[in-house]
Amino acid sequence: MNKDSFFKRAWHGNIKIWQAVVLVNILGFVCTMTVGAGLGLAFLWLREAQIININIVLLNSYILALLLLGFGIYSVTCLWRVAPNPKGVIKHGLTRFWTFLFGVYLLATVYRLVSI
């Protein structure tokens, strides 16, 4: 029985391709954006309660960019390492193509958030 956590097995590419795409990639992106939105709402509440007096748009953009960058490194690495697992060459190519597109999308999103 493998006692490693799912995240460690995913990092090493020891999960199935559907788990990498659905659980790590898509569900991880939704969770990352949810955490970012929650932090944005918390900063907004602190600003409205006059507890903090800072530019919350800029702060939230940088925090969301860091969250997406961290998630992107983990997610793209997991997908890239899982790509050789499928038996067919087409599935391998499609996985690498999806990994490339997702990585470019995340980098563009981080760049856009930082350039505000």
- Find the DSSP H helices in 1-116: 6-11, 17-18, 27-48, 56-82, 89-114
For 38-64, write each residue's pLDDT tens digit.
Answer: 999 999 999 999 888 888 888 888 999
Say what the pLDDT of residue 104 is.
92
What is the reported pTM? 0.82
Residue 10 tokens, joined: 């995913």
pLDDT at 1 over 60: no
Model confidence band, residue 86 (pLDDT cutoffs 50, 70, 90): low
Cα distance between residue 60 and residue 103, in whole Å? 21
Q: What is the mean pLDDT of the chain?
A: 88
pLDDT at 19 over 80: yes
pLDDT at 73 over 60: yes
Say what the pLDDT of residue 64 is.
92
